[in-house]
Structure 1
Amino acid sequence: MNAPLNDAALDQLLRSARTFNKFTDRPVDDTTLQQLYDLFKWGPTSMNCQPARIVFVRSAEAKAQLKATLAPGNVDKTMGAPVTAIIAQDTAFFDHLPTQFPVMPTARDMFAGNAGLAADTAFRNSSLQGAYLILAARALGLDAGPMSGFNPAAVNEAFFPDGRFKVNFLVNLGWGDASGNYPRGPRLAFEDVVRIA
């Protein structure tokens, strides 16, 4: 049986963690990005479908492409981040199910024959995987700034022109500079959110 994490770990992952809007200029290297994937990939998805596809935007050329797709309020913080992860979903994720979920031989056909189910599953599970990426980044000592505020069609055209992958959301990654943080927003109370049935 697992023991609860200590307070320092809980603080780093969630309680004291923040959405960062400003980052230091310390680079995020390939080894760290590989470690990040190797950690967050273990987060569960339904039927082990793993629909998330990630582009780590780091080069000047890729940043310029991404900049053109951003809402004005997201430009400076994204251009200042060492890396931005584009969290996308593979619309044909089910092609991998024969190897990723072999316990159900009919799994691929179930999604291939139902576009609505496939789209819902891809969106739901790529969202989960994006959240795992944020937690994994924090576990590795990185800070994260997840966001909407971009033109999805423009991101898809720039980074996924064949149409198979579709952007879900963006996450700026690096070592945060707390001077760019807003005051911590409140959270809803237990009784406002939870019902025990």
Structure 2
Amino acid sequence: MRPDEIATALRQAFRERLIPPGQALNQDELARRFGVSRIPLREALRTLVGEGLIIMRPGLGAVVTELNVDEVEELYGLRLQLEPPLAPGIVERLGQRDVDDLARLVEGMRALTAAQSEEWSTLNYRFHRRLYELSGQRHAVRLVTQVLNLVEPYARVHAHVLGSRPRMQQERVDMLQAVRDHEAERVEELIDRSIRAARTELAQAMAEISIN
């Protein structure tokens, strides 16, 4: 595997909490898993360090980034700055095939059972990525993706452990309808509202856990 392929696989493992926040990475084990020497693995890890997904700690080596409540609130604040302004570009560049792609993702989410939490979160992540890529703002989308990758392990807890999935599902349905109707202001409003609700609920839950 190439270093970029290794980095992609690790990003997914971090997002899906297959390798949870705070876990140290055994480089020998990872090299065996990917069937590579430590040279391409280290190159992949350097890329992920640059994205903030892992940090290097003395005595432990590479560790998956673990966020505290203040950092989560900061990242959701960045989302508020980056994501809602993409709405006009999304609506302007939208085609029927794009609407169909988003609709398939939303319908796929709706069809999943309550037990299929990880599958739902994966489709939810893809929905956001697909939606924002439609804006055509390549550099903004790159930054958004980096932030989404950082908060995704916590967003999954928000959706399922905190019981927010039904509301989030309806938000995606509403976003899809606003996109279909080419209502840029409505799309922007819904993105903003969704991020604010998630930030409030997740930060409150994390604060309560740290207190207890």
- Shorter-normalised TM range: under 0.3
Using the size of structure 2 for normalisation, the TM-score is 0.27
Q: TM-score, normalised by structure 1?
A: 0.28
Higher helix share: 2
